[in-house]
Amino acid sequence: MASRRRRVKSLAAVLVLMPFCAVSCSGCRTAFESATWDARAGRVLNGQAAVVYSSRYEIDLLGLEKSHSFDIHKYRRMAQALVAGGYLAPSDFFVPEEADEALLRLVHTPEYLANLRRSSYVARCLEQKAVAGLPGGVVDSRMLRAFRVTTGGTVLAARQAMRCGLGINLGGGYHHAHADRGEGFCVYADVPIAVRRLQRDGLVRRVLLVDLDVHQGNGNAAVFAGDAEVFTFSIHQENLYPHPKAESDLDRGLWPPVDDAAYMSVLAEELPPLLDSHRPELVVLLGGVDTYRDDPLAGFGMTAEGIVARDEYVVDQARRRGMAVLYVASGGYSEQAWRIQYASIGNLLRKFAGVEPSASRDAPSAKAAARKTPPAQP
């Protein structure tokens, strides 16, 4: 009964909010949103790194997000911080297309994609019971579309990685999505889709997934099970969702607490031999920051500095061997999550693309991002 009341309340909220929603209203977008909305090429920074982002990554849960740990503004906060920090201008971001049905079908079954038309099904994937009460069209346009654009972003970042060495997607890393089902706030298997697309285009053959999100990437492990060309390596918290875990090619399930030193000793023990034996052309770093000590969903004890050093270590080990790196954001649920991820990405851009941040260069752009674009004249 309570659930029914919540659904009715949610539906009413949608009907009230729909006419005023800024997400699809071009006249209500901020200058920053306008600059990162339509798909376009960006700038490869010093010929060595490309950063992919779209304002369309922002999921619009119509207020329902308050009941979930995920910060739906995380991606935008990271993007705007990179601009404010002088790493790049809004026009430098590569802005992706929304992944279309043909792209999604490289990994997902037609039955699963059809199931996503039902709000009740999506509600389970997103762990948001109230979503079940929303019209299917609203769920698709306000929620699923954001995941499809982010999936397109992972494909674009992977493609750029193969061109310049380092491709960074400020979203993505939905590693719990399976070929035939979604779970754990993951709908589309963006990394497997990107890998399959690049393989199909003849851009890559051998790939290594380095999944450092605190949760095990059960979806990715299942998709690539038995695939000799794609190796899945995961360091995760053993006594944490998902239960049961899937079988990666190499799993290091650790028990909390795990501090920086303990984590790095495992990573340093496993990663270099893997790179040398599997010889991937592309290394995918799922750089989840839910290993942070204050993450509300996990129990690891890493510091922000430790996570920055962790990501730098992975990229350094790959780049010194001439391997391309795709970085995807993955999880992180503390209030500090976006700041840690911003710090890590900034560090990667400095160390591996020679980007010298210039606060003065882009400060006006950051200020402009906070202003609303005036509505177009009728």
Where do contacts with Zn ion occur on this chain (CB under 5 A)? Answer: 213, 215, 288, 290, 331
CB of 367 to Zn ion, least distance (A): 33
CB of 373 to Zn ion, least distance (A): 35
Give whichever of 86 and 288 is closer to Zn ion, judged by the CB atom: 288
Q: Report in angstroms the alpha-carbon separations of 265 from 44, 96, 126, 248, 310.
A: 33, 37, 34, 20, 10
CB of 171 to Zn ion, least distance (A): 14
Q: 135 phi and psi, to 5 degrees? A: -65, 145
Give whichever of 199 and 291 is closer to Zn ion, judged by the CB atom: 291
CB of 288 to Zn ion, least distance (A): 5
- Which two structure tokens, joined as six digits, stand for 247? 């079988």
Residue nearest Zn ion by beta-carbon distance: 331
CB of 83 to Zn ion, least distance (A): 26
- Which two structure tokens, joined as six digits, stand for 177? 């999505």
Q: Report in angstroms the alpha-carbon separations of 213 from 30, 209, 259, 294, 322.
A: 32, 11, 15, 14, 24
Question: Exactly one of 175, 176, 215, 278 is catalytic; which is it?
Answer: 176
Q: What are the residues whose beta carbons fall under 8 Å from the beta carbon of 135, sequence distance 6 or more?
A: 11, 14, 119
Give whichever of 98 and 295 is closer to Zn ion, judged by the CB atom: 295
Give whichever of 287 and 288 is closer to Zn ion, judged by the CB atom: 288
Active site residue 176: yes
CB 104 within 8 A of CB 110: no
CB 284 within 8 A of CB 233: no
Give whichever of 303 and 373 is closer to Zn ion, judged by the CB atom: 303
H/E stretch holding 203 reads none
CB 194 within 8 A of CB 155: yes
Nearest to 220 by CA among 180, 187, 174: 174
Task: Count CB atoms within 10 A of the CB of residue 13.
Answer: 16
CB of 186 to Zn ion, least distance (A): 10
H/E stretch holding 24 reads none
Give whichever of 83 and 246 is closer to Zn ion, judged by the CB atom: 246
Active site amino acids: 176
